[in-house]
Amino acid sequence: MKIRDIAELTAVLLQKHDVINTGVFMQTENNQLVQSVLKSNHDLRLIARCANLVVKEVACEYIPLFHKQTLTSTNGEIPYTAFEKTLLEIRGIKDKNGNEVDYYCLPDHVEIQNGSFEVSYTFIPTDKQFFDDLDFCGTKVSDRVLAYGTCAEYCLVNGNYDEALMWERRYKDALLVATRKNTQVILPRRRWI
């Protein structure tokens, strides 16, 4: 799933024919065409920005994105700048033997004993370009969920508040389904008399 997929579905849902007919949604990845259209077409540029906002919102508030990284502590601290991705929340730190290690989060670093550690954390995704893959692989977040949120943001920015409210409801309902845990409902066996 790419920003292109979300933007195309958003343009279809909002019936933005001027965006659909630009040619950027062709199967081939033509970066020169996309860059020139993004410069000239305000609606496509705004849809791409709204899509990035929605991706960040979903990752930060509803379905966290996890990452594991091996980091080394020097002088009893790991600076936040050492993390590959923008840190949202540390979920756990293990030493080389796989044992949980105590740590303290301070404003500019993690205080921990010296050594090499595997850090599990959630992160904030970076803004994606038009043909970049999104980080939601393996989750129940579909392009339709993100397109609903993008439609809501786009309508809100353009002052279409009633339409934004309608898209927001669809978006929240789709997120509810995406975040619902899959549990099996097992009914007790019945006896026939």
* Amino acid 42: pLDDT: 87
* 126-152 confidence digits (pLDDT tens): 998 888 888 877 777 888 999 999 999
For tokens 């000239």, the residue is 40
Judged against a pLDDT cut of 90, whether residue 57 lies above it is answered with: yes
* 65-103 confidence digits (pLDDT tens): 899 999 998 888 899 999 999 999 999 999 888 899 999
Quote the percentage of the chain above a pLDDT of 70: 96
Tokens coding 16: 């933005």
> Which phi and psi angles does 26 have, rounded to 5°?
-70, 165
Q: What is the pTM of this model?
A: 0.82
Partners of 117 in beta bridges: 71
